[in-house]
Amino acid sequence: MSQFGTDITSDDIIADLSFFDTWEDRYKYIIDLGKELAPLSDAQRTDENIVRGCQSQVWLVSHRDGDKLFFDADSDAFIVKGLLAVVLAAYNGKTPDAVTAFDIDEYFQELNLLKHLSVTRGNGLRAMVKRIQDTASVA
């Protein structure tokens, strides 16, 4: 199970990123977060698990444990894996209601993230979030 959302929360990410003075350092931190994501197996890297709308290849797998949702994710791009870790910190281990209620826009604003990403990366980030929120809305 991923440590993002359980051991590393969205508040942790906000606090950690605030320590860095430059976006170059913040990008390095985000990339390092992505390195902590366990890779998905080849069996999980299916068309069904691909997140459409991302510039890079992104796979997202969900499962439920009791009343909580958990997500595993992977990408072929280092920065995208880091962005996945940032997103998973916000959503992993929460109930479907908590996932849909979480103010992701406020989270991204606190991170000052979207204005430092290309338009295509920002769109991909939104596609990841939408996939997670859609999963929660039918769970």
**C-alpha–C-alpha distance, residues 101 and 86, integer Å:** 17
**C-alpha–C-alpha distance, residues 135 and 94, integer Å:** 12
Catalytic residue among 54, 61, 84, 132: 54
83 a catalytic residue: no
φ, ψ dihedrals at 16, nearest 5°: -65, -45
DSSP character string of 71-102? EEEEESSHHHHHHHHHHHHHHTTB-HHHHHHS
**C-alpha–C-alpha distance, residues 66 and 84, integer Å:** 23
Amino acid in position 127: A
- Closest alpha carbon to 126 in 93, 80, 89, 70: 80
Q: Which residues are catalytic?
A: 54
